Amino acid sequence: MKALLIVAHGSRRPASNDEVQALCERLQKEKTAEEFALIRAGFLDLAEPSIPEGVAQCIQLGAGEVVVLPYFLSAGRHVSEDIPAEVEKARMSHPHVEIYLAPYLGSSPGIGGLLLALAEGCGKDDGSSG
Amino acid sequence: MKALLIVAHGSRRPASNDEVQALCERLQKEKTAEEFALIRAGFLDLAEPSIPEGVAQCIQLGAGEVVVLPYFLSAGRHVSEDIPAEVEKARMSHPHVEIYLAPYLGSSPGIGGLLLALAEGCGKDDGSSG
């Protein structure tokens, strides 16, 4: 069984962490992700579970493979160093499980399309100009 | 003429700001955004142009409408308070121009699909397990 751990930075503001949890729950419920029987949230800092904790939870629930995906927009130190280091810790703790690191969200070629979809139609009789 | 100003947080790390600039240049070149003749980057903090500067540049280049879109994943204080305050400043400076605030990137219903597309196939003979 394959699990997906979507890793956000984590915030002192609980609503921001809840947003990531809700996204994972929605993806899990929609069952569009045939490859992943389990979709969970993890956090680099300031919220729980941490990346090693999140990976461990997936394994406890039966995952034999875990994909860790950084929910980040830019390839800064968190994406290039901190998250890979946490993934490496998880690999050391679970040598029998395959733990992969997916590309970070901001690297997706589809981001531009989402931005245009959000922007198009703004100002067309929607009163959003305040 | 309608312009789109994609607003990121801004980083002390130039490569992160460059990533946003490159995204805007790519969208501008692809010409998939028929509604927007001009697509520019702006920054809330730590990089230039600021939101009011970015809006002013769009207007100087001929925009009669500007859509400001927050390139943010969570609806924190930056999205709910700081960016709207900067947009309001820009409106005060340019009362003859319509300046709209689009929903933030993280609110897009398409984010989940991008995450799954990035995660699917990870670990299939790609050697990414390190």
Residue A100: inside a domain, yes or no? yes
Residue B124: inside a domain, yes or no? no
Residue B76: inside a domain, yes or no? yes
The pTM of the full predicted model, rounded to 2 decimals, is 0.91
Segment-wise mean pLDDT, segments of 10 residues, chain B, 130 residues: 96 93 93 85 96 98 97 93 97 97 96 95 60
Rounded CA separation A38/B57 (Å): 47
Residue A130: inside a domain, yes or no? no
Residue A125 has what pLDDT?
59
Rounded CA separation A102/B123 (Å): 9
A-contacting residues in B 98-127 (Cβ below 8 Å) = 98-103, 105-108, 110-123
Residue A110: inside a domain, yes or no? yes
Residue A128 has what pLDDT?
47
Segments forming the whole domain that contains residue B108 = 2-119
Residue-by-residue DSSP string for B72-105: -SS-SHIIIIIHHHHHHHHHHH-TTSEEEEPPPG
Overall number of domains in chain B: 1
Whether B95 has its CB under 8 Å from any CB of chain A: the answer is no
> What is the ipTM score, two decimals?
0.92
Residue B130: inside a domain, yes or no? no
CATH code, B17:
3.40.50.1400
Residue A128: inside a domain, yes or no? no
Residue B75: inside a domain, yes or no? yes
Q: Which among B2, B36, B76 is the nearest to A13, CB-wise?
A: B76
**Low-confidence stretches of chain A (pLDDT beneath 50):** 127-130
- For B88, which residue in chain A has the nearest alpha carbon? A130
Residue B127 has what pLDDT?
47
Residue A122 has what pLDDT?
86
Kindly determine whether residue A118 and residue B100, on different chains, have CB atoms separated by under 8 Å: no
Q: Select from B5, B111, B125, B126 the residue whose CB has the most chain A CBs within 10 Å, as the one to mutate to test that interface.
A: B111
Residue A30 has what pLDDT?
85
